[in-house]
Homo-oligomer: A and B are copies of this chain.
Amino acid sequence: MLSSRGFEGLTLRAVATEMGASTGLLTHYFPNKRTLVAHALDVLDRRSQERPRRIAPGDGSPPPAAGLPRLRAALLDILPLDEAAAAGNRIWVGSWDVALADPELATAHAARYGRARALLTESVASAQRLGELPDDVAAEQLAAGAQAFALGLVVQALFAPAEFPAERQTALLDAYLAGLAGPAREVERL
């Protein structure tokens, strides 16, 4: 419901009827709406972390454990490549309004994205160690750039799903990753 009506349409009553309960139940567990929203985002975040990680184009194969493939898989995991992922992303993008207006939620979000960035940094660093990415740029910077790219692509794809089907999203991502790896080869050749 959040993914279709947005946070604007999120009311205690709507949540209550959605779960076949009363508003009294909600207020029994949460002192106010803010904490409910915060908790909901927390749960959603935890669920996102625990969901099975995406694997490269094929399906049966195990998830890539290191290097550029792992970075690619992690970024693909962010994109709205199917309707389910789009719905999830719609919720996150929608949460940015209320989060930016509420300092507590804003810091929670900042922490979340910071954590995700740290994970990406590991993948980047491992790719650098493998020589798949240049190491003349700090892994932190490459990871921040990659996260920005993925996040922005999410927004674009949500608003223009017809123009950004899954294939184009992955193609754009691959082109981006190629751009990261490209200069390295050049350096190696000197």
A178 contacts chain B at the CB level, 8 A cutoff = yes
A30 contacts chain B at the CB level, 8 A cutoff = no
Q: Would A186 and B175 be within 8 Å (CB), given that A8-B101, A90-B100, A155-B151 are in contact?
A: no
Beta-carbon nearest neighbor of A161 in chain B: B110
In the assembly, how many copies of this chain are there? 2
* Contact, CB under 8 Å: A114 / B163: yes
Would you mind naming 23 contact pairs between A and B with Cβ atoms under 8 Å apart? A4-B101, A5-B101, A6-B101, A8-B101, A96-B158, A109-B159, A113-B159, A141-B175, A144-B164, A144-B168, A144-B172, A145-B153, A145-B172, A148-B172, A151-B151, A151-B155, A152-B154, A155-B155, A176-B179, A179-B182, A182-B186, A183-B183, A186-B186
* Contact, CB under 8 Å: A183 / B178: yes
CB neighbours of A164 from chain B (8 A): 144
A32 contacts chain B at the CB level, 8 A cutoff = no
Q: How far is the CB of A38 from chain B (nearest CB, A)?
A: 14
Most buried by B among A97, A113, A150: A97
CB neighbours of A158 from chain B (8 A): 96, 100
CB neighbours of A9 from chain B (8 A): 101
Interface size on A, residues (CB 8 A): 53
A21 contacts chain B at the CB level, 8 A cutoff = no
Q: How far is the CB of A80 from chain B (nearest CB, A)?
A: 11
CB neighbours of A155 from chain B (8 A): 96, 148, 151-152, 155
Query: In the docked arrangement, what's the CA distance between A160 and B7, Å?
Result: 22
A131-190 interface with B by 8 A CB criterion: 137, 141-142, 144-145, 147-156, 158-160, 163-164, 168, 171-172, 175-176, 178-180, 182-183, 185-186
